[in-house]
Amino acid sequence: MTRKRVAVLISGRGSNMAALIEAARHPGYPAGIVLVVSNREAAPGLALARGAGVPTAVVDHRAFSTREAFDEAVEAHLLAAQVDLIAHAGFMRMQSDAFVTRWAGRQLNIHPSLLPSFKGLKPHQQALDAGVRISGCSVHFVTPELDGGPIVAQAAVPVVDGDTPESLEARILAAEHRLYPLALTLVATGRARLEG
């Protein structure tokens, strides 16, 4: 079995990145994490990646005048690492349509809601404000529409009385750490793929 070469894009703590790195350590897992790229030099996830022996790169978005120029700089690292798939793990940057098109069907994102509900920022607060009894997380293919690509996998998490955005986030995050490695397996093995 040839393992798919995966780059993880992060902006912060990298807990989902860490879950993917851990999954990739198991023999027989169909993907290997070969690169972690962050748009923030201070992202705590970079230290986690380095500690796990994964090469890292920082591409500071503030150094670029356009989204396209930033994407091209990120892509240079991806191509140099011969990446097959990209996994967004708390990557807080919108990508240019051209970049998304070039990587169509090869980019995944994880979002802490049951999409298509509660897209964008503060999904935990959105869920509580809506009064739902079940929330969760979704892994989807990246498309130009924010949090709008076809869904690969989802996990449901109950909303309980007295939940705060923080308590709901903690329970959903635990589910994310189980779901993302599963979803990456589906895509890396071709059992889930983007068509059309």
128-167 pLDDT, tens digit each: 999 999 999 999 999 999 999 999 999 999 999 999 999 9
85-112 pLDDT, tens digit each: 999 999 999 999 999 999 999 999 999 9
Q: Tell me the average pLDDT of the chain.
A: 97
CA distance 179 to 110: 9
Predicted pLDDT of residue 195: 87
Residues carrying an active site annotation: 111
CB 49 within 8 A of CB 21: yes
